[in-house]
Amino acid sequence: MNTRKIVAFALLTGLTFQSCSKLDSPPTDFIDPTKAFRNLDDLNMGVLGTYAVLTSTLIEASAIVSDEVMYPTENTVSNNTAHRWLYNSTSGSVTSAFYEYYEVIDRANRVLEAISVIKVGAAGQSRLDQYHAEMLAVKAYSHFELLKAYASSYEPDGMGVPYMKERKVGYPARESVKSNFDNINADLKAAKELMSPGFNDNTRITRSGIAAIQARVALYEKKWSDAVTYASEVIAAEPLAPKSDFSKIWDDNSQSEVIWKLARVIGDSRLGAAFFRETGEIVLYAPSFKLIDQFGTVAQRADDVRFDSYIQYAPARPAGKSQYLVNKYVGGDAAYRGLTAVKLFRAGEMYLIKAEAELENTNGTAAIAAAAKDLNDLRRARIYNYIDQNFTDKQSLLNAIYNERFKELAFEGHRFFDLKRRNLPVERTTQDAINTSGAVRLDPTAAQYCFPIAANEMSVNKNMIQNPNY
């Protein structure tokens, strides 16, 4: 990790986590977490401080570089480098997440270091275990997000990312993807063993949240049996939202099927601002027509509760303006448009993980039937007047699952990485390419198919290796 970044961060967090009585102490480049955290209340502040720096950068980036959105001609105010696949190691739109997640990891490691030495009585042990579990899970999740974005591939021998098991300043080297997965799984397993099943605050990681992370990790690792097991665990605990509640999820008026979310309050960054700019009423990125067409005819869109929840049709907008807008993150307060909690994990995703994993885990009609049931169960929960669809072959069902992921998980940070884990190109339609300057197809052999390691990291960390072709 960038040494200068960590030293600056050490100073910052040292002041943040210490009590007021210590602010007059002489400044140093090193803050001892075992002194900054003295009791359970201090630890809780550290845990909250770790959650506070989790971002939605990769959700935005995944949408912008994939075929999920289009770049309308009315957008003359934002950087189009990412959408046109012109990014490199100096492009903050795709490199900033590298430092953002390592900042989360550094904070988690500081809390974990303090947890190892704080003494509590029997009455405080369950609370200590909870904080321990949360920080292990946050650390694993953050490394997984880094792996998704910056791995050279998702194959076991691909170049992964440095796994920071403890806080330290130095020149960590990239580990293999397999090593990353092994460490992620070990931390998640330890977290689940510590986490109380009675803890249910979905603004923090719960036992269901850990299982949901495990399910997603197993999907990327192609551990199909594990993916089925973990997704089934979450499904048993978190039912799908009723149709009448689904739209309320996105303006924070319902907690249905939300497993883990990042709370957002006035003054925080707004995920919705990535797609719409209030000043001038400018659509920065509009839903792609490729995505819109996945929802079928106008009548079929009306039956699908996801369409209006995700996409706004505004035919009254002036000529030359996009008539479609991303509606998913508008939020429920007109005075703070775009301010809404970031939903990181939902039950809907678990049905699709389970369906894909069941289909890949075994061959034959039984696997097709099991996967088709999961897909139909999800569709039935989302679509009025839905009639179950029958499938007779694996490939057509797999295609249907991927198309359903495209719809169900739109703008939630999955599309680009879904294509990457299947080694499929990003392909935009002619209708969506009116302002891309020819950026229509991104093949797996292109450098931009993987996000680059930031140039600052490359210049400082002598052991860091850049992704291919940059």
Q: Which residue has the tokens 């080297």?
A: 173
* Residue 22, pLDDT score: 36
* Residue 4, pLDDT score: 34
| Model pLDDT for residues 279-323, shown as the tens digit of each residue | 889 999 999 999 999 999 999 999 999 999 999 999 999 998 999
* Residue 10, pLDDT score: 34
Q: Which of 263, 193, 256 is nearest to 51 (CA)?
A: 263
Two structure tokens written together for 389: 């669809």
Q: Which residues contact 331 (CB under 8 A, 6 or more apart)?
A: 250, 251, 252, 270, 272, 337, 338, 339, 340
| Model pLDDT for residues 24-83, shown as the tens digit of each residue | 334 444 557 767 888 999 999 999 999 999 999 999 999 999 999 999 999 998 889 999
DSSP class of 77? S
**Is the pLDDT score of 6 beyond 50?**
no
Main-chain dihedrals φ then ψ at residue 139, nearest 5 degrees: -65, -45
Q: Are 137 and 187 in contact (CB under 8 A)?
A: yes
* Residue 38, pLDDT score: 86
* Residue 225, pLDDT score: 98
Beta-carbon count within 10 A of 42 CB: 18
Angle among Cα 112, 117, 121 to the nearest 5 degrees reads 110
State percent of the chain over pLDDT 90: 84
Question: Mind listing the domains of the chain with CATH numbers?
Answer: 1-69+83-196+444-470 (1.25.40.890)
Mean pLDDT of the region 225-247: 98
Q: Is 392 helix (H, G, I), strand (E, B) or coil?
A: coil
| Model pLDDT for residues 337-381, shown as the tens digit of each residue | 899 999 999 999 999 999 999 999 988 899 999 999 999 999 999
**Is the pLDDT score of 13 beyond 70?**
no
* Residue 44, pLDDT score: 95
| Model pLDDT for residues 367-379, shown as the tens digit of each residue | 999 999 999 999 9
What is the pTM (predicted TM-score) of this model? 0.92
Q: Are strands 258-262 and 342-346 parallel, antiparallel or unpaired?
A: antiparallel
Q: How far apart are CA 375 and CA 372, in angstroms?
A: 5
* Residue 363, pLDDT score: 87
Mean pLDDT of the region 246-264: 96
* Residue 31, pLDDT score: 58
Q: Taking each helix axis from N to C terminus, what angle separates 347-361 and 365-382, rounded to the nearest 10 degrees?
A: 160
Two structure tokens written together for 465: 């290796």
Mean pLDDT of the region 143-172: 96
* Residue 30, pLDDT score: 52
* Residue 35, pLDDT score: 74
Confidence of residue 20 (pLDDT cuts 50, 70, 90): very low
| Model pLDDT for residues 378-433, shown as the tens digit of each residue | 999 999 999 999 999 999 999 999 999 999 999 999 999 999 999 999 999 999 99
* Residue 169, pLDDT score: 82
Mean pLDDT of the region 95-112: 97
Q: Are 416 and 62 in contact (CB under 8 A)?
A: yes
* Residue 278, pLDDT score: 84
Q: How far apart are CA 260 and CA 345, in angstroms?
A: 5
Q: What is the DSSP string of 49-93?
A: HHHHT---HHHHHHHHHTTSEE--TT--SS--TTTTT---TT-HH
Instruction: Please name the amino acid found at residue 155.
Output: E
- Residue 4 or residue 2, greater confidence: 2
**Which H or E element spans position 456?**
helix 455-460
**Is the pLDDT score of 171 beyond 90?**
yes
